[in-house]
A and B are shown apart, each in its own frame.
Chain A
Amino acid sequence: MINFESLFVKAKGNPIEYNGGLIHMVDRLVVKNLQRLRFVFDSANSHWRQGIHISTDGGFEVNGRKFKKAVVFWNDTAPKTIEVIVETKKGECWIKNVWDVGDGVMESWHNGAAMMIEDIGGSKLYRCNDGDPDEDFDDLVFRVEFI
């Protein structure tokens, strides 16, 4: 079984080649200030709770409420589709998969974690492997659309 964690450590967190493509720990989305994004949960196939973690230098507006720096959407409590306004001076939004094995701790970036990212027209598709060190990249699948 491939050890994504040690490969990412050697690469200092940069994307690494895997099966002819790249896999990522995190995605840096280039956005303009007050960019509107739509997050869509497509599917989840993990025995652990799955979530999308987004962060920026400013904050986010979700459902009319403002949040500083970082928010998380869990697939068992958030709606299937979430619209977000990004407030940023640096023009960036970081996106990653998080999971919770059931002890209430938000996990990411270790053990089997990795994401395959595809550009599809005006949106991006994220196929995520959570901490469970398999290689099926179906623990969480979600999209981000620019609107």
Chain B
Amino acid sequence: MMNPLTGRFWTADDYEGSGGDPNSLHKYMYASGDGVNASDPSGNFSLSEISISSAINVSFRAVRTVAVLGAKGGLIGGLVGGGVGGYFHVLKHGTFEGLAQAMWSGAVQGAAAGMIIGVSTIHPVALAITLGAFLGINIADAINVISDPDTTIEVKVAVIVLLAVQAKYSASAVASKGPKMTVANSTKGWRVGDPINNLTAKGNVPSWDTVRARYWKNEALNNSGKYSAENLALMRKGGAPQRVNPTTKEMESKELHHDPPQRDGGLFDVEQVWPDEHAAQDPFRNVGEYD
């Protein structure tokens, strides 16, 4: 199977080849150069494997989503793989002879890899695993290329650059699939009524204590009709509203829950909840036809 990033195949064929079939003598050729009619059963990825594993037992909508993602990834991967395969062929061999075949092989393998990555984007964990696997394979392959005495310095540099680019974009792709969260904006300073994600007057990201105080001050401003005068006084000082719990006879405060969790970096995305109501479920949620 060919690595579209480095222009080399990941593994050499075990078969020694036959003198009667020149293509079979090439230890790094895909399916004798016929990527349309032939397949590579020892390869890691094929269209049928991806389609079956991804689409089985899921709804039509999910299948359509997977198909679209796979097609997009396959198209991009094919174009990149073809270009990279051709580029490295010329760079390594110094000739355009065999360029079309190298581009075709690169395109086929790039399309397969692109489809896998495209399908993986439906979930950040799947994407991380896939990109991690590709990166790992490419690092191992790059070591082989760089340590090969026949490899020119230009190819070595190009392989390292491409590997670095892949690592950067892999990390970016995974990060972009993570939970969406509000980040600090660029405005310095905060007054009651301003967004709670403003920077501090010194330009720092506010601490959680500061964010919480801002939240309750804004709640007192925007939702004053909800609360008693006593609670509004507390909230205007940055404190949470309180109430007595008649089942425990104790005072309790309204809480702010993070979504996404604070441990995942969520600082400004919060929802308010009273402790006693937190666990209640609504059996008729989203029903709404009873009147």
Contacts and interface: CB of A to CB of B under 8 A. Distances in A.
A98 B283 contact: no
A11 to B, nearest CB: 8
Contacts of B226: 101, 107, 111, 131
A74 B290 CA distance: 11
Interface string A1-32: 00101101100111000000000111010000
A40 interface: no
A111 B228 contact: yes
Contacts of A143: none
Interface residues of B, number: 33
B228 A109 contact: no
Interface stretch (A75-83, A118-126, A134-142): A75-83
Nearest to A110: B243
Contact of B247 (A78, A94, A132): A94
B44 interface: no
B243 A5 contact: yes
Nearest to B272: A105
B274 interface: yes
Interface string A64-100: 0101111111101111100000000000001000100
Given A5-B228, A13-B247, A110-B231, A72 B273 contact: no
Interface string B202-237: 000000000000000000000101111011000000
Interface of A: 3, 5-6, 8-9, 12-14, 24-26, 28, 53, 55, 62-63, 65, 67-74, 76-80, 94, 98, 101, 103-111, 131-133
Given A14-B246, A67-B283, A111-B226, 16 more contacts: A8-B244, A9-B243, A12-B249, A13-B246, A63-B283, A70-B277, A73-B283, A74-B284, A77-B286, A79-B290, A103-B223, A105-B272, A106-B273, A110-B227, A110-B241, A131-B227
8 contacts: A67-B281, A71-B280, A77-B284, A78-B290, A79-B290, A101-B223, A105-B272, A110-B243
